[in-house]
Amino acid sequence: MLYKAIAALGLALLLAGWSQRRKRSVHVPLVIAGIAIDLTLVLILEFSRDVIGMTVEKQWSWQQWTHISTSAAAVLVYFPVIWFGVALLRGKAGPAARTAHRRLANLALALRTIGFAFMWYV
Ligand code: HEM
């Protein structure tokens, strides 16, 4: 239950940050906090329960697979999102990097939202 609450807080920060995407000074701290919480949760779950090992061994339902695959994919997509976000902050990024940031960030958020919806089956 505690982990679900932490996951909800992470997603809430990401959604709040997304809603403030035009306001850098608000957008960046909110999304960084949300990503940090998500990444910390992944590490906690792996070290406390060996989730990755369990994923390989156990037979999961399709709902559980949806949760696992979309949540794992979202965390992987965070890295290029951060990369392009930092480039935008440095002012060295052109329109292409901005579009890449937007598309990847929206993809990560969509994956994370689906993963969150299916978290209740795990
Ligand atoms: C999952 C997390 C994130 C989401 C959903 C997200 C989403 C977005 C979206 C949709 C935009 C608007 C782009 C446009 O309209 O062209 C944007 C802009 C921006 N993002 Fe993110 N982003 C995320 C993470 C980050 C991170 C980690 C950073 C910095 C390290 C960052 C820095 C920026 C900057 C600097 C802008 C330009 C803001 C402006 O001046 O208009 N973002 N983001």
Cα(92)–Cα(55) distance, integer angstroms: 40
Dist. CA 21 → ligand 1 center (Å): 6
Cα(94)–Cα(116) distance, integer angstroms: 33
User: b or e along 87-107 (b: 16 or more beta carbons within 10 Å of the residue's beta carbon)?
Assistant: bbeeeebeeeeeebbeebbee
Model pLDDT, residue 58: 80
Half-sphere exposure of 6 (CA within 13 A, CB side): 14
Q: Tell me if 41 CB under 6 Å of ligand 1.
A: no
- φ/ψ of 61, rounded to 5, equals -75, 165
Q: Tell me if 98 CB under 6 Å of ligand 1.
A: yes
User: Among all chains, which residue has been given the structure tokens 């940050």?
Assistant: 17
Ligand 1, residue 88: give the atom nearest the CA.
35
pLDDT digits (tens, 9 = 90+) for 10-42: 999 999 999 999 999 999 999 999 999 999 998
Ligand 1, residue 86: give the atom nearest the CA.
30
pLDDT at 52 > cutoff 80: no
Put simply, whether the predicted model's pTM sits higher than 0.85 gets the answer yes
Q: Tell me if 16 CB under 6 Å of ligand 1.
A: no
Q: Tell me if 87 CB under 6 Å of ligand 1.
A: no
Please, are residues 68 and 57 in contact by the beta-carbon 8 Å criterion? no
Model pLDDT, residue 71: 94
Q: What is the CA radius of gyration of the chain?
A: 15
Dist. CA 27 → ligand 1 center (Å): 7
pLDDT at 78 > cutoff 90: yes
